[in-house]
Amino acid sequence: MLSAHSQDVVAHYTRRHGGRDGLFGDQPFANYGYWTRDDMTLEQAAEALTELVATAAGLRPGDTVLDVGAGYGAGAVIYAKRCRPAAITGIDITPVRIDEGRKYVAGHGLADVITLQLGSATAMDFADASFDKLVSVECAFHFDTRADFLREAARVLKPGGTLALTDMIPRRGTDPGAYLRGEKTLNSGVCLDNPANAYDADVYAAHLRDAGFEAVRIESIIDWTRLPFARCLDAMGERDGGERGAAWRRSAARLREFVELGEDYVLVVARRAR
């Protein structure tokens, strides 16, 4: 049974499904991208973020990989093509994403490598020590709660296995209440605030260690993620004009407001203790 917050997350992404507007070209990504050049397209930046996580996790041929919050499977397809793992299992709580993701995976001829299924990040239906690597792109802030997810991640990873993810947290010294104000999202009308996960990198690192991880690294990458994504939305606003363009600019302004109020975007890497 999903918590009330998790049900809101499902409602948000279900409503967003019909309004993606081809943002990412032919690849069904849903992330802010990793912008290493000014001339990158959103599709290229989204792919670069996926590759950053794959590199941080050390994905390699023969690995068994768990992708938590796999969405439409775009990241899993990149992992399969670039890193050649033995098998990737992707879980997500939003049914439409799994349904559409299976079609996307099959269309790339990867159904024998990638399995997408409904599943909860905080109550995983896998045996202990099932995976070599666990990746999660831009969704752990949704999990109810992140600490429960980290314990499950440690349980399903093999000793010495690697966790790599991107996430959003408050910067040190930030009052999360400055931006967790019960406001509804612009594109779905759902409030996604999750105060239980609103803590800084020091607390995050402590949760990782308590769950059984070591070699913890938490690095801010906001200058290459949220901020250039906002600039991309502004450019789209200029290009499209009218109400559609105004909607892109409103989204960009909201993102910048969150950053100014203290929200950070981080890369998190840790190793399951042996």
Q: How confident is the model at residue 26 (pLDDT cuts 50, 70, 90)?
A: confident
Q: Would residue 246 count as lying in a domain? A: no
Which is it for the CA torsion 228, 259, 143, 52, positive or negative? positive
Query: Is it the case that residue 89 has pLDDT exceeding 80?
Result: yes
Query: Is it the case that residue 19 has pLDDT exceeding 90?
Result: no
Query: Is it the case that residue 25 has pLDDT exceeding 80?
Result: no
Q: Would residue 239 count as lying in a domain? A: no
Q: Would residue 210 count as lying in a domain? A: yes
Helix (H) or strand (E) holding 257: helix 242-260
Q: Would residue 187 count as lying in a domain? A: yes
What is the residue type of 36?
Answer: T
- Please count the structural domains in the chain: 1
pLDDT digits (tens, 9 = 90+) for 120-137: 999 999 999 999 999 999
In angstroms, rounded to a whole number, what is the distance separating the alpha carbons of residues 203 and 194?
16
pLDDT digits (tens, 9 = 90+) for 41-71: 999 999 999 999 999 999 999 999 999 999 9
- Give residue 15's domain range: 4-222+265-272
Q: Would residue 10 count as lying in a domain? A: yes
Give residue 129's pLDDT.
98
Q: Would residue 234 count as lying in a domain? A: no
The gap from C-alpha 195 to its chain's centroid, in whole angstroms, comes to 18
Mean pLDDT of 110-119: 98
Give residue 16's pLDDT.
85
Mean pLDDT of 224-231: 97
Cα angle for residues 106, 166, 224 (degrees, 5° grid): 105
Residue 123 DSSP symbol: B
Mean pLDDT of 84-94: 98
DSSP 6-66: HHHHHHHHHHHHTT-TTTTTTS---S----SSTT--HHHHHHHHHHHHHHHHT--TT-EEE
The gap from C-alpha 121 to its chain's centroid, in whole angstroms, comes to 12
Mean pLDDT of 253-259: 95
- Check which CATH number belongs to the domain holding 108 and give it: 3.40.50.150
Q: Would residue 245 count as lying in a domain? A: no
Are 33 and 42 contacting, i.e. CB atoms less than 8 angstroms apart? Answer: yes
Q: Would residue 102 count as lying in a domain? A: yes
pLDDT digits (tens, 9 = 90+) for 192-217: 999 999 999 999 999 999 999 999 99
Residue 81 phi/psi, 5-degree rounding, is -75, -40
What predicted TM-score, i.e. pTM, was given to this entire model? 0.96
- Of 230, 6, 263, 264, whose CA–CA distance to 123 is shortest? 6
Query: For a pLDDT cut of 70, what percent of the chain falls above it?
Result: 97
Give residue 17's pLDDT.
85
Query: Is it the case that residue 253 has pLDDT exceeding 90?
Result: yes
The gap from C-alpha 10 to its chain's centroid, in whole angstroms, comes to 14
